[in-house]
Structure 1
Amino acid sequence: MDNGASSYRRYLDGDDSGLVELIRDYKDGLALYLNGITGNFCIAEEIVEDTFFKLAAKKPKFSGKSSFKTWIYAIARNAAVDHMRKMRRFSDTPSDEFYDLSDERDIEKDYLREEQQISLHRAMETLNSDYRQVLYLTFFEELSNSEAAHIMHKSNRQIENLLYRAKLALRSKLEKEGFEYEKL
């Protein structure tokens, strides 16, 4: 599996459906990842749009030194960092929670699962940016440590240490709330 490289190649060869596939496959994950960096879901969505606009307009070359997913996440992260540098003098309120607690199936079970997710996301929001990023990339996006290292511009050893400290910090925050996340 090439994680989107063939779709991007098709787009570069003139098939617009390749870009449509990339947007469909990556927009949600990128928005959630960038929300962890920016702390604002609306800004994260704008940066996702900018990322895909850059792919469409500038058509950067994908060298294949990493997976396509790693490459596109690195582009998006760099755009977010640039945006945060530009906006440093302005303050913005973090986004509200986007959770729908009504479900027709087992409402109580779904409610508890949603509450756990809210607790997890609240706890992650209190962590520093590097911790949020490494946890999001490795757990939610299921990227390898080396892919996360490439995206975050860190060495594999730095990612291992960062991931270890991030897990400890998150576990501590969750335990204070009386919640233990099974994947930690």
Structure 2
Amino acid sequence: MKIRIWFSLFSLVMALALIGCSKDENTKKTDEEQTQGAVEKPNENREKQQKKSVNDDGDNNVDLDLTALSSTMLYSEVYNIVMSPNDYIGKTLKMKGLFRTYASLESDTTYFAVVIPDATACCEQGFEFIWDGEHTYPEDYPSEDSEIEITGRLDTYEEDGYEYFYVVADDLVILN
């Protein structure tokens, strides 16, 4: 008898959970509208991916604007880029995060990165970048942990037998 009661109660709870998790058409439409245009799949038609430039001259197009995403979507897309960088190589990305530097003791090289925290700020994921043009560190660069926005193309290089990906930043804006 107790098994029937527990089974009935369990079935009722599961039914309520399924009903509570369903979405109506208006909610689905809102979700689609929120992400439409912000995230373009890497393999879609190039013309659909082109967006208005962040530069005043209008020559550069952004394929993936990470600044337009909610914190959850942002971290998910960053994770996708890190796990499958080859799908994004050659794409122009726009992102904002914290400016960080990393000094290599072995090669006496300073690496620059934009670090993007997740929604709870417990985890971070960074992208190495090289600022295109004539810029000297530290004079032309922001201070450590400044919020920045970069726009550039994802590319790769090989160092010590390992392949790394980075952003060739055409534009760097200090936000604070």
Same fold (TM over 0.5): no
Structure number with higher relative contact order (C-alpha < 8 Å, ≥ 6 residues apart): 1
TM-score (norm 2): 0.29
Larger Rg: 2
Write 1 or 2 for the structure with the bigger share of strand: 2
